[in-house]
Amino acid sequence: MDNSPKPLLTICSPEEVDILVAEAPLDYGYLLILEYENGDKILASSKSPSKYLSTHMVRERIHGISNPIRVGISPQLWRYEAVKRNLQKQLADYRKPGEARFSVPNDVLEQAIESVFSLAMQHRRRREGDAT
C-alpha cells in the first residue's frame, strides 16, 4: 500500500478540468487556483469546476484578458467557500490592489494551502466519522 502523502491539489491544464473533476455532491465543493503566464493567481471555489472555468474564460476573452495556463483543484471540501475565504485572508498581503488576482510566490501559496487544508480535512474526517 502506498503511504506517500497525496498532493493537496490536482494540477492540470484548463482543458483537462472537465475530464478530471466531477461535480461535487451536496454540501461539498472545490477550491480552484487559476495560474496565469505572468505568475498571477486567482482563487475561486465552485461545486462544478468545469462550469466555473468555462464561464470565467469566456468573461476573460470578452475583456481581452489571457486565459489561465494551469489550474490547481483541491479535493472535495466541506464548507469550501469558507476555505477559500480563509486562504484569501492568509494571502491578503499578496493581493493586487483593486483586483481579484494575487501575486504570491509558489512556496508561500503552498504553505498557506497546507495550513488551511489541514484544518479543513481534519474537520471533514470528524464530520464523516460522526455520520457513521
Per residue of the chain (132 residues), what is the pLDDT tens digit?
344 445 578 999 999 999 999 999 988 999 999 999 999 999 999 999 999 999 999 998 898 888 999 999 998 888 899 999 999 999 999 999 998 899 999 999 999 998 888 887 776 677 677 655
Does residue 1 lie in a domain region? no
Q: For residue 10, what is the enclosing H or E element?
A: strand 10-12
Q: For residue 79, what is the enclosing H or E element?
A: none
Q: Which domain holds residue 33?
A: 10-131
Query: pTM here?
Result: 0.84
What per-residue confidence (pLDDT) applies to 6? 52
What per-residue confidence (pLDDT) applies to 5? 44
Does residue 67 lie in a domain region? yes
Does residue 59 lie in a domain region? yes
Does residue 125 lie in a domain region? yes
What per-residue confidence (pLDDT) applies to 78? 85
Tell me 62's DSSP state.
Answer: H
Q: Are 65 and 36 in contact (CB under 8 A)?
A: no
For residues 41-60, one letter each, b for 16 or more C-beta atoms within 10 angstroms of the residue's C-beta and e for the rest, the string is bbbbbbbbbbebbeebbeeb
Does residue 82 lie in a domain region? yes
Q: Long-range CB contacts (< 8 A, 24+ apart) of 52-55?
A: 53/14, 53/17, 54/18
Distance set, CA 19 to CA 28, 43, 73, 77, 111 (Å): 19, 21, 13, 19, 28
Does residue 3 lie in a domain region? no
Q: Are 114 and 71 in contact (CB under 8 A)?
A: no
